[in-house]
Amino acid sequence: MTKPGSIASSASAPGSAPRAVIRLSGDLTDFQPLFDETIERSRGARFVTMKLGEARLRAMIAVTVAPNSYTGEDSIDLFIPGGSAVVSRALREIIALPGVRQADAGEFTARAYTNGKLTIDQAKAVAATIAAENEAELAEVNRLMSQSLGEKATGWASEVSECLALVEAGIDFADQEDVVAIEPKALSDRLALVLGEIGGFVSGEKPRESRADVPRVVLAGRPSAGKSTLFNALVGKRRSVVDEAPGTTRDAIAEIVQLPGGSKVELVDLAGLEDIADDGLSRAISKRTASEIEAADAVLHCDPNGTFEDELPGAQSALRVRTKADLPIAHESRADVDVCALDGWHLDDLRSEIARAAGLAGPSAGGVIAARIDSALREAMAHMQSAQGLAQAKESQWELIAGELRLALDELGVISGRIDPDEVLGLIFQTFCIGK
Ligand SMILES: Nc1nc2c(ncn2[C@@H]2O[C@H](COP(=O)(O)OP(=O)(O)OP(=O)(O)O)[C@@H](O)[C@H]2O)c(=O)[nH]1
Ligand SMILES: [Mg+2]
């Protein structure tokens, strides 16, 4: 999965600082044109003169040579004055060199993994430590790491493989009546042991898979605030009726929306909040709207004025969204996000904010990895349970049992890194910050 070429990236936080570090990895000769001096292929720190077009910059470099560097390749840590203009200029010069390109997110660590410098658990720990956004997330990642789940999953996978081998042997010798590779009961018992162990690892919370378990995010606000227009823009189709007349939406309309980082929410367009007219229908609509707001996991308070003076009935904290941001307002917006659903302005920002407001991990490595591991374990368990069920049936269907065991193995392989490393690797390394 790693692309060839030498790579470079700033390893410092954005902004100015006394010193900045740029990391380079790959082939030292690719980087040689950057410097007046010849860069010896030997470990150590030295002062050099760096070329920035006609200008010259004194810099310090720390060279590590393959295979003893972080990436396992020849590497240079380049220390330069930390002004952000200098850093971006230097990076531009570096990635303009033939054979050198900007590193992808996580690429240094991906290379370390491919070059055998890190185990998958260690690579995940790097990802997680960089990205863990809060204490709870870090604790979750630590829980997974400290129990060296990779090793355990390998153990479970080898037990399941053994069962599979026996089942397949049974199928191969099905015509020889006296050969029984594994009795259904024995198979079921062996799987039960593994299931018991895996069960201890999956988190207590149910996975958010079924539609009902996806967080519900409602759009609330005055009539004609632009809720339905925003809803349609986020959903990507004209699902809700839009009209200039206030009071267009009368009922709750729900659609699943994909968010950055692979998470999903159920977005709900609601009727506008009005002073309740004294008729049965209006009251019923208001009641429905209020109960949707109260039950929601997150509320998007839509207000084209950006003042958010309306009280939302029973809502916990709401994300303040100024709609119709193409229309000027005479005061400063007090919104968390200003959007225009007509041309899509800031809708990506809004999507990220929705993920955060709905309590989804979003695109951070810790959450994504923990969720992926959890879902792989659950899937593996489900397949093993089906295999048990099939084994206990009157006529054991060995072909189907073998199929289920193979699927369980695929899932466990996601964690042990043996069978389907690419997918999980891609996931891990993409969630890194660039420069790691
Ligand atoms: N200029 C501008 N107009 C918008 C924007 N979004 C919506 N509108 C217009 O505002 C009017 C009301 O839009 P809706 O999306 O139906 O508003 P709503 O909040 O769903 O209204 P109700 O269902 O009646 O509560 C329509 O005429 C839209 O075309 C926007 O971003 N900019
Ligand atoms: Mg509407």
Residue minimizing CA distance to atom 10 of ligand 1? 226
Gap from CA of 341 to ligand 1 centroid (Å): 9
**Strand ranges across the sheet with 298-302:** 253-258, 264-269, 216-221, 298-302, 318-322, 337-338
pLDDT confidence of residue 152: 81
Which of helix, strand or coil describes residue 70? coil
**Structure tokens given for 322:** 């100024």
Q: What mean pLDDT is predicted for residues 345-370?
A: 70
pLDDT bucket at 172, cuts 50 / 70 / 90: confident
Closest C-alpha residue for ligand 1 atom 23? 249
Q: Which residue has the higher pLDDT, 118 or 145?
A: 118
Domain residue ranges of the chain, discontinuous segments joined by +: 6-103, 135-205+364-430, 216-357
Q: Which helix (DSSP H) or strand (DSSP E) does residue 101 occupy?
A: strand 100-102
Residue 167 in 3-state DSSP?
Answer: helix
User: Tokens standing for 381?
Assistant: 């368990």
How many Å apart are CA 95 and CA 132, to the nearest integer? 29
Tell how far the Cα of 240 is from the centroid of ligand 2, in angstroms.
7
Q: DSSP letter at 345?
A: B
Tell me the ligand closest to 285's alpha carbon: 1
Most confident by average pLDDT, 84-93, 217-226, 313-322? 217-226
Q: What is the total residue count of the chain?
A: 436
What does the alpha-carbon distance between residue 89 and residue 343 come to, in Å, rounded to a whole number? 34
Residues forming a β-bridge with 299: 218, 318
CA of 343 to the centre of ligand 1 (A): 13
Task: Please name the residue whose Cα sits nearest to atom 16 of ligand 1.
Answer: 242
DSSP 403: H
Pocket test for ligand 1, best of 224, 270, 329, 337 (most atoms within 8 A of CB): 224
Intra-chain end-to-end CA distance of the chain, in Å = 16
Identify the pLDDT of residue 352.
84
Distance 274 CA to ligand 2 centre (A): 13
Residues 27-41: what's their mean pLDDT? 95
pTM, to two decimals = 0.46
Among the bound ligands, the one closest to the CA of 230: 1
- Residue 59: what are its φ and ψ, rounded to 5°? -145, 160
For residues 368-388, average pLDDT: 82
Give the lowest-confidence range in 34-48, 107-121, 398-412.
Answer: 107-121
d(CA 292, CA 298): 10
DSSP letter (8 states) at residue 35:
B
Give the right CATH number for 135-205+364-430 from 3.40.50.2300, 2.120.10.30, 1.20.120.430, 3.40.50.880. Answer: 1.20.120.430
CATH topology for 216-357 is Rossmann fold (3.40.50)
Please give the pLDDT value at position 306.
Answer: 94
pLDDT of amino acid 424:
43
**Which ligand is in closest contact with the Cα of 226?**
1
Across-strand partners of 52? 55
Q: How far is CA 172 from CA 27, 182, 398, 399, in A?
A: 52, 12, 10, 10
d(CA 332, CA 239): 32
Tell me: the pLDDT tens digits for 184-237? Answer: 999 999 999 999 998 887 755 444 333 446 888 999 999 999 999 999 999 999
Tell me which residues have their CB closer than 6 angstroms to ligand 1.
223-229, 242-244, 246-249, 271-272, 323-324, 326-327, 340-342
CA distance 363 to 360: 9
Nearest alpha-carbon partner for 360 in 223, 207, 231, 172:
207
Looking at all shown ligands, the one closest to residue 302's CA atom is 1
Q: Which residue(s) pair with 46 in the sheet?
A: 61
DSSP state for residue 212 in the 8-state scheme = G
Ligand nearest to the CA of 222: 1
Predicted pLDDT of residue 154: 80
Distance 355 CA to ligand 1 centre (A): 23
| pLDDT for position 219 | 96
Distance CA 110, CA 130 (A): 14
So what's the pLDDT on residue 330? 92
Confidence of residue 82 (pLDDT cuts 50, 70, 90): confident
What percentage of the chain carries pLDDT values higher than 70? 77
Measured from the Cβ of residue 256, the count of other Cβ atoms closer than 10 Å reads 11
Q: Which of 115-119, 303-307, 349-353, 375-379 has the lowest mean pLDDT?
A: 115-119
Checking if the pLDDT of 350 tops 70, the result is yes
Backbone angles phi, psi at 277, to 5 degrees: -75, 160
CATH number for region 6-103: 3.30.1360.120
Nearest CA to ligand 1 atom 6: 226
> Tokens at residue 57, please?
């910059």
Residue 95 CA to ligand 1 center (angstroms) comes to: 46
Helix (H) or strand (E) holding 357: helix 347-357
Q: What ligand 1 atom has the least distance to the C-alpha of 246?
A: 24
Residue 338, H or E segment: strand 337-338
Residue 297 CA to ligand 1 center (angstroms) comes to 24
What is the amino acid identity at position 241? Answer: V
Q: Which atom of ligand 1 is nearest to the CA of 232?
A: 15
With bands split at pLDDT 50, 70 and 90, how would you rate the model's confidence at 360? low
Enter the tokens of residue 383: 């397949």
